Structure 1
């Protein structure tokens, strides 16, 4: 399928594409959970390799790995921004999809996605950040509380800085179903939602009985896709804005968890998954 046929198809069939995307991302969430379980398993080759290392060495390694991941993510983000220029590959994809959505998206579809896009609104996630931080702190999971807060607040700060650096103008959106101000790249809704919902799934795996782990991981994947996809359908963001948001938020979330787990080991309380 060429770009000339793909862009109109996306504009004409956003609901089926949304359902398929949710199912795929829910599957990815389940696979991520299986990967986490394999990594934490006592017989994991990585665990056997790291076992002799001291807690301090592991913490230093985790910080170095996080720094490398952030640098690599930044390089990919810059390349995506460059490709998103008018003459770049992603620029042509972005403009084709945005044009078709402006001319063909139905008001019913727009109203639906204008509703679900609130999953990534600043006020929703700010309230969630405060509530989860307070609940974790009150239940004496202090390291998890700090990690959760740093993940959410740090991602918000990074997103704002990068928006100002890249200063990309948003696509035209005059349908009235949704409004968005400020710069476009990377998508704040997309980056914040992947941090929030993936971190909530991680907390569920750490703290809740095993029967809740898979539903939490799959739900997180579906919510992350829904939030990002809604921004494209509402044409308040280009597709590359959303991809950049997912890249930024996912990288930041993984780095936060990596350092948080290493801190727990350094403090003498290795993180474990709930099994009951």
Structure 2
């Protein structure tokens, strides 16, 4: 467990450092050429407003991006809370609620702080209402799916199952973020920032859950946050 704590702590620091580096690149304009190149890569050479791939692929991208929407995130969070409620893991429910709602607030505040405009070089394939940086879908999906996985694996002793669950969370996060660029509603640097900050938030959530479970276990309530032997 000490090795896991050390690895997650290092991951949080690295993710935050990458987020800061991304912010500096965006603010100085040094990432504009890269952003544009990646955005155009997802578009047809004949028509920049036409994303590559058949119609069903474009539809699939829209469905995948919905996995990072607030409504879907709220639904999954409520389902997870319901399962935890059945097993009377009250602290875990409170923890998930605070972690996810706190991350959503951070996302909204950062958008208002940076006020970066959405890409205007391609036609948007999804409706948007807020600023571009950081990507809310990338941040919220990373924060939510990784946080839910971080809590869930505390109830699982099988190492392979824990890795599989975490891998699924990472895959969902990657797909949602990539779909935002494919749909033309975010610059790649927006998504990268969301991934970094969301990952850091989830990692910090895991560390907090770990230390809280150690503290409450001394009072006989360790199972409320979940315990594992690995």
TM-score range relative to shorter protein: 0.7 to 0.9
Residue of 24, 28, 39 corresponding to 2:4: 39
1:231 matched to 2:180? yes
Which of 98, 102, 105 aligns to 2:51? It is: 105
Contact 1:147 1:257 in 2 (8 A): no
Point out the structure with max Rg over C-alpha: 1
User: Quick one: structure 1 residues 274 and 226, their matched pair in 2 at CA, closer, same or farther if it must change by over 3 Å?
Assistant: farther
Q: Determine whether 1:84 maps to 2:49.
A: no
For 1:176 and 1:237, the matched residues in 2 are separated by 9
Runs of 4+ in 1 over 4 A off after TM superposition: 173-176
Bigger shift: 149-158 or 168-177? 168-177
Match of 2:144 in 1: 196
Q: Unaligned regions of 5+ residues in structure 1, if any? A: 1-35, 41-45, 47-64
Report the CA distance between 1:241 and its aligned residue: 0.5
Q: Report the CA distance between 1:182 and its aligned residue.
A: 0.9
Rounded to whole Å, the distance in 2 between the matches of 1:37 and 1:76 is 24
Q: CA deviation at 1:246?
A: 0.7
With normalisation by structure 2, the TM-score equals 0.79
Q: How big is each residue's C-alpha offset from its partner over 1:20-78, in whole Å with a ceiling of 9 and x where there is no partner?
A: xxxxxxxxxxxxxxxx69537xxxxx7xxxxxxxxxxxxxxxxxx89xx68x82x6434
1:241 to 190, 202, 213: 190
The equivalent residue for 1:165 is 113
Q: Which residue in 2 is equivalent to 1:135?
A: 83
Change (3 A) 1:39 1:166: same
Q: Quick one: which of 220, 227, 230 aligns to 1:272?
A: 227
Instruction: Label 1:87 to 1:39 Cα distance change in 2 as closer, same or farther (>3 A).
Output: closer
Q: Which residue of 2 aligns with 1:18?
A: none
- CA RMSD across the alignment: 3.0
How many equivalent pairs are there? 213
